[in-house]
Structure 1
Amino acid sequence: IPYIKHIYHIPGKFYNTAFSIMMNQKKWDSLSKDVQQAIESKAGLNIARHAKAWDDNAKEARPQFKAGGINYAPASAKLVAEMKQRYSSFDADWIKIAEKKGIDGKAALAFYRKNAM
């Protein structure tokens, strides 16, 4: 971190990672019960606990930033607006890709954001 001078907090879950494990039912059914149980034991709340630990560690690191001479501050409204504008096509592009695969992209994205973020 010796080269970092500033860290900005971006509101609105801009920095947020959602992990998903997806498999079609036929493939899932073809797995042995032991393999299914191994996957299930590592998913769900287990992943959520790891994500919470990640968030907690990030919060605990903030005082260390200051001690290291790094400015940690909220991003300006201007920066946030510019980021949103630059990345505004991501949703539309993702929706188009989903719809080419026969998926209601808008509904899928809304569902994912509601449940994973």
Structure 2
Amino acid sequence: MATIKEVKRELRYRDWAEEIAECQSSGMKIREWCRMKGISCNTYYRRLCVVRTALLEQIANTIQPIVPLSSSAALQRSEPEAIQPRSNPVCEKVMIRKNGIEIELPQEVSGTMLLTLLRGLREC
């Protein structure tokens, strides 16, 4: 259960995120927007950094670990977006398909690269 301090921090971060979104959608230069709102540019950028860091932590906490599948398990899945190896049982490349996007990766692709790619595809 969240403490009062954690709830207050979450609300403050949400307020900052709304302000940042307002600034970015205003079409104004950041300096002008900050002057209009009565905050310094340093405060704006510090809040931006805090909000981004909190968002990255939140994303990192919600990402499920990647569990490797054998080539037969990937082929048995009925979902069209499954990661499927080529027909060759010795998997030379990995294919990822989602929403009309097709990505072909070498078998040696790093875990970091694959995780980054999957995070990006989640937004599609």
TM-score w.r.t. the length of structure 2 is 0.27
Q: Which has the higher strand share?
A: 2
Q: Which has the higher helix share?
A: 1
TM-score w.r.t. the length of structure 1 is 0.28
Q: Specify which structure has the bigger relative contact order, considering alpha-carbon pairs within 8 angstroms and separated by 6 or more residues.
A: 1
